[in-house]
Amino acid sequence: MRLSKTRKHVSGVHDGSMRAKCVHDRIKCAFLTEEQKIIVKMLKPQAQSQKATFYNESLLSNKIIKLKRNYPI
């Protein structure tokens, strides 16, 4: 089956100057980078809260150690 010239031509953003695989790869890459940005935004507050709890726990353990040193059992 023979295709007409308009059927062979890729219409769109790149207007036939890029192969279909290259366009597909670019779209995939853009999608994944956007997803990664969203994930980083979601995980940032969790990491900060974990850091704060770790800091508070270490302060608490240091206070307990100091109390034990001052008041041996």
> Residue 34: pLDDT band by 50, 70, 90 thresholds?
very high
Q: Say how far apart CA 26 and CA 22 lie, in whole Å.
A: 6
> Residue 43: pLDDT band by 50, 70, 90 thresholds?
confident
Q: Residue 55 in contact with residue 47, Cβ under 8 Å?
A: no
Q: Residue 42 in contact with residue 49, Cβ under 8 Å?
A: no
- For the CA atoms of 21, 26, 30, 36, what is the dihedral angle to 10 degrees? 70
Q: What value does the mean pLDDT of the chain take?
A: 76
Q: What is the pLDDT of residue 35?
A: 92
Nearest to 26 by CA among 41, 14, 38: 14
Across 47-73, average pLDDT: 69
Query: Is residue 50 predicted with pLDDT exceeding 60?
Result: yes
